[in-house]
Structure 1
Amino acid sequence: MSATAKSSSPAQRSTLLACAAVGATLLMLIALGHDGRRVAQLFALASPALVWLAWPVRGARAHRVRTCVVWLWAMGFALDGVIRAYLLDGYQAAPDSSLIQSAAANTNSREGAEYLSMHWRAMLVWSGALLAAGLALGRFAQRGARQAMAWPRWAVPLLCLALLVSTVAYLSKPWRRLHPVLFWSQWSQSVQALRAGWADQQQQRDTALARAAAAAPVVVQEGPATLVLVITDSINRDNMALYGYRRATTPRLLAHKAQLGDQMVVLRNAWSVDASTVPSLRNMFNFGLPPEQEPQHVLALARAAGYKVWWMSNHDDVAIEQQHARLADVVDIVNRTPGRAGASLDGELLDCVREALEDPAERKLIVVHLMGAHPHYVLRFPAGANPFDDQVDDVEAGLEKSGRSAWVRRFRQEYDAALLYHDSVVSETLQLVRTIGRADGYRAWMYLSDHGQEVGHGSNHAGHSPSTASGYRIPTVIWRNSAAEPYRAGTGDRPFRADWAGWTMADLLNIRWTGDATDRNALGEGYRWVAPVLPVKVSSFED
């Protein structure tokens, strides 16, 4: 070996180590957020940085520029991988999925801060991984080749192959659009377009009203009629004493059930098909049909049939307001604080419910949209009103035995306290509809949640959960006064889908129209259950 070759050997080893370390770090982070061939595609897009590290740069200034550019380049791929890994771990979703894009389009700065305050532990772990990767990449990016050297025979063909594959990757549009800079730029534009579409939907609402009028809906029951529809957020029926939970979270609903008997039916096998609010409400009010089928909207049908419609909400939510609330005759949003985690309590809506029930309109549909137990749980009940705080009972012991962390057990206590307060509000809406109005008139009340919530039921997680059955298990309860027909035997044991709730709502409103169907109405004689396709395995929809 010549003297020149010997003198260059340490520099050569340092450069090879730098390329290998940067390449291995990138490959690991890319694999966290991607699978299959996409890992190879992203690595091909990232490989120019490795080639540049092997290319000799003699000048000190040029060396610093290369170090900075290579580090920034690599960190772009690292950040992309960590974000995707976080979303996969917490939500089993890609960033361009409708779940994530809807949530991003429906989020403001305050809600983002509130989300961070609840999920900072998981985010801290992933941020730590990103920081470690950044330090490693920064250290090895400084060790790029500074002088010409004799490379092993295998190195030159390998670098040429890397350049060739990278060139192909950048020439291919399907590959190129995966590049973090392009992907996240386009993702941001998609979110902005989605938000803009929500902000201006008057034309879609006009179309929905015209479509409803063309269907010529009629009310088949004479006399005054009132339906109070209570839609809540993030309630898992497994945490309700009404459904057999071991904590006393629903004493007032249990009292109503004991008093009302068969007039109040508890659908014990109710499921949502969506794990987040926006798609769930769209399915509820559009009869579970996709937009391309031009479905009817329940509120538009009710108005066309002669109902006066109210929408009262504790949500400050532009998507829901534009897609649904503005179809009503009267809109009352009591929560004026941006962010769904605002501190406005659901009880603020009770005066609005009373006023609507006292309105002289002959036929009324009153939609009450509650925050329910949407995180933060601690904001869903009055301060100091948590009887389960630090309570050692069977529920706490079971969670501890299942290996649930202290913070998940604390969230379960807060969640159950939220359900206890929620029970008082929901029960009061039922009490109001039972007592206000003409004694000879038809009155009905329906209560259900948009989706469930995971609070240590199937995993060590608290919050929205599209990856566990708890994210889809919801309560559904229906009451009708004596002016209505009795429920059919076994109605409470029927499995129920929230995306079919529109058919049941129409039955409670006694509306019939062109295109009406009965096989999806849970109260109907011809009901035919079809199990939904969920992204999680459910052993039985009848449990």
Structure 2
Amino acid sequence: MGLLAAGAAVAVVMGHDGRRAAQVAMLVLPLLLWLRWPVASTGWRRVRAVAVFALLAAFLLDGAVRAYLVKLYQATPDSSLVLSAAANTTAREIREYLSSQLSTMALAIGVAIVALALTGVAIAAATRDQAPLSRPGRIAVIALLVVCSIGYLSKPWRRHHPLTFWPTWAEQVKDLRLAWSDQQGQRDQLMRNARAASPTIAAAGPATVVLVLTDSVNRDNMSLYGYARQTTPQLAALSGEEAGRLLTLRHAWSVEAATLASLSGLFSFGERDADDPAGRAQHLLALARTAGYKIWWMSNHDDVAVDQQHARLADEVEMINRQPGRSTASLDGELLDCLEEALVDPTPRKLIVVHLLGAHPHYRLRRPPGDHPFDDAPDAVDARMIRDGHPVWLRESRQDYDAALRYHDDVVAQTLRLTRRHVPDAGQGAWMFLSDHGQEVGHDIVHAGHSPGTAAGYRIPALLWRNAPGFDASLASRPFRADWAGWTLAELMHLRWTGMAADRNVLDPTYAWRPPTLPARVSRFDR
């Protein structure tokens, strides 16, 4: 029994880490407990032995496959990298891949065979030499089974069971193949729409434009916007250095509380989801490419939908995150080298999209381990949350969130400094930063996370920079909508095309603000 437990533990740790390993272990433990339960009938013992062997073999092979993918590709099976590779692979390519990787896989296959053989021997021995359980032993086994039932009742835990995960994975691959055919057709249509609009660049000479998109950042938690904690000292310093050239829009709002819908609105000028029977919808990246910009998309997200709807319209795509979901620990700072490589590229006209994870839950994973700038002593933020009656867990979530923003501040500031440094001589340089949506961390309700029902879910930061000319300071007080951001970015790129709507460009003299209709109650959009 000890050998089986050790083997199962190794399989779980090979394929999972941290809290998820503990969750999967809860799914494995009932198999060992079942094997320990006394069964009188020899026939039923054999049936049980076969069932336990098959299930443990599934966990062993699952762990081996996951460990292989992590070792070679730093990716999980359900990452967009692996899903895309599987969806885009033919039977012939699979044979060629296995042939090329045979030497690498031989040892792993050998170890797996030995592990399966030892598992079979250990199960046979446990079945043959089974000792009767005492009454306390039976109670202990039953108690452990009750505890383990939590894992099987919890869908987030249960989905990691090999018998659930791999059939679902196969369906994801199948769905992705189908979606690709549709998405490629949509991208082709968007490129045709862009060509029909005849986009041009109104300024001569080279141009470098960087769009930094982040996730789940609420401007109410940024000291640049007046927050009591020093969460954005680097951006504040740049605001002083670049007075007149760096514009902080004080009243910026998203109209969506989720990433995919927000990005769809941003790149389609708020209109892509509208009824479009004539097929005239425009996408900012398609217009920019048609006009003559080379486009880079670099991302710390692992999201197939974002990749297919937006990133694949770019000329160059770099996805550094190989683990989907909230548990990824990939840090945004890893994108800075990618950004600099694009900035030094000799292409005269460049649009570089940098998609950060920002402060997306889980907050503790959005900054380096051990980085706790606000945990040392209570401060004014703590005092206010205590006065408002917020529980300890919510105050700790706020500290984690603010710590994530402190790290995020450094990354965002470095993207601007890099952009500023690499603007070509006698060329145009511009930079834009905004979040897809906000985040509720005890602002309006006792909740930490996405919040479509409160204003905190929509309050976002928005900053603009350009090397020349500067910005009129009065523009900072204009309310701003993220789904209109495409018009403003087009202005920074000097893009012109048939069908432009200048009154949605926050920099234009004809700008006409129209409040969005949100699910949350917002009394005023100018604060």
Find the partner of 2:244 among 262, 273, 290. 262
Find the partner of 1:420 among 377, 399, 406. 406
Find the partner of 1:338 among 299, 302, 324. 324
> Residue 393 of structure 1 aligns with which residue?
379
- Partners of 1:198 and 1:323 within 8 A in 2: no
Change (3 A) 1:309 1:386: same
Aligned length: 364
SS at match of 1:258: helix
- Separation in 2 of the partners of 1:197 and 1:478? 39
Change (3 A) 1:246 1:206: same
* Structure having the higher Rg: 1
- Separation in 2 of the partners of 1:475 and 1:193? 38
Q: What is the one-letter code of the residue matched to 1:260?
A: E
Residue correspondence of structure 1 range 63-212 to structure 2 within 5 A: 198-200=179-181, 201-212=183-194
Find the partner of 1:512 among 483, 496, 504. 496
> Residue 221 of structure 1 aligns with which residue?
203
- Separation in 1 of the partners of 2:393 and 2:228? 20
- Partners of 2:244 and 2:472 within 8 A in 1: no
Change (3 A) 1:527 1:375: same
Find the partner of 1:496 among 471, 480, 484. 480
- Partners of 1:278 and 1:320 within 8 A in 2: yes
- Partners of 1:341 and 1:374 within 8 A in 2: no
- Separation in 2 of the partners of 1:196 and 1:272? 32
SS at match of 2:296: strand
**Gaps in structure 2 of 5+ consecutive residues:** 1-75, 81-146, 155-170
> Which stretch shows the higher mean deviation, 290-299 or 262-271?
290-299
- CA offsets, 1:47-72, max 9 Å, x none? xxxxxxxxxxxxxxxxxxxxxxxxxx
> Residue 524 of structure 1 aligns with which residue?
508
Change (3 A) 1:196 1:468: farther
- CA offsets, 1:364-418, max 9 Å, x none? 0000000000000000000111111253000011111111111111110000000
Residue 198 of structure 1 and its aligned partner are, at CA, apart by: 4.4
- Partners of 1:340 and 1:371 within 8 A in 2: no
Change (3 A) 1:360 1:534: same
Matched, 1:453 2:439: yes
Find the partner of 1:438 among 408, 413, 424. 424
Change (3 A) 1:192 1:308: closer
- Partners of 1:488 and 1:525 within 8 A in 2: no
**Gaps in structure 1 of 5+ consecutive residues:** 1-106, 112-123, 132-189
Matched, 1:292 2:275: yes
- Separation in 1 of the partners of 2:526 and 2:377? 32
> Residue 336 of structure 2 aligns with which residue?
350
Residue correspondence of structure 1 range 468-483 to structure 2 within 5 A: 468-482=454-468
- Separation in 2 of the partners of 1:375 and 1:108? 21
SS at match of 2:420: helix
> Which stretch shows the higher mean deviation, 304-313 or 285-294?
285-294
> Residue 538 of structure 1 aligns with which residue?
522
- Separation in 2 of the partners of 1:232 and 1:435? 22
Change (3 A) 1:395 1:196: farther
SS at match of 2:256: coil
- Separation in 2 of the partners of 1:440 and 1:538? 44
- TM-score, normalised on structure 1? 0.64
- Separation in 2 of the partners of 1:375 and 1:198? 27
Q: What is the one-letter code of the residue matched to 1:406?
A: V
- Separation in 1 of the partners of 2:315 and 2:191? 12
- Separation in 2 of the partners of 1:404 and 1:516? 47
Q: What is the one-letter code of the residue matched to 1:227?
A: V
Residue 258 of structure 1 and its aligned partner are, at CA, apart by: 0.6
Residue 439 of structure 1 and its aligned partner are, at CA, apart by: 2.7
- Separation in 1 of the partners of 2:177 and 2:439? 29
- Separation in 2 of the partners of 1:352 and 1:340? 23
Residue 486 of structure 1 and its aligned partner are, at CA, apart by: 3.0
> Which stretch shows the higher mean deviation, 285-294 or 260-269?
285-294
- Separation in 1 of the partners of 2:299 and 2:463? 20
Residue 195 of structure 1 and its aligned partner are, at CA, apart by: 6.2
- Separation in 1 of the partners of 2:473 and 2:421? 27
- Separation in 1 of the partners of 2:173 and 2:390? 38
Q: What is the one-letter code of the residue matched to 2:297?
A: W
- Separation in 2 of the partners of 1:284 and 1:259? 29
- Partners of 2:231 and 2:406 within 8 A in 1: yes
- Separation in 2 of the partners of 1:492 and 1:194? 45
Matched, 1:307 2:290: no
Change (3 A) 1:325 1:468: same
- Separation in 1 of the partners of 2:191 and 2:368? 40
Q: What is the one-letter code of the residue matched to 2:185?
A: Q
> Residue 273 of structure 1 aligns with which residue?
255
> Residue 68 of structure 2 aligns with which residue?
none
- TM-score, normalised on structure 2? 0.66
Residue correspondence of structure 1 range 34-49 to structure 2 within 5 A: none
- Partners of 2:326 and 2:362 within 8 A in 1: no
- Separation in 1 of the partners of 2:436 and 2:423? 28
SS at match of 1:447: strand
SS at match of 1:310: strand
- Separation in 1 of the partners of 2:178 and 2:359? 28
> Residue 329 of structure 1 aligns with which residue?
315
- CA offsets, 1:341-384, max 9 Å, x none? 31110000000000000000010000000000000000000011
Change (3 A) 1:297 1:389: same
> Residue 250 of structure 1 aligns with which residue?
232
SS at match of 2:470: coil
- Partners of 2:250 and 2:479 within 8 A in 1: yes
SS at match of 1:444: strand
- Separation in 1 of the partners of 2:337 and 2:451? 33
Residue 262 of structure 1 and its aligned partner are, at CA, apart by: 1.0
> Identity, % of aligned pairs?
57
Q: CA RMSD in A?
A: 2.6
- Partners of 2:78 and 2:323 within 8 A in 1: no
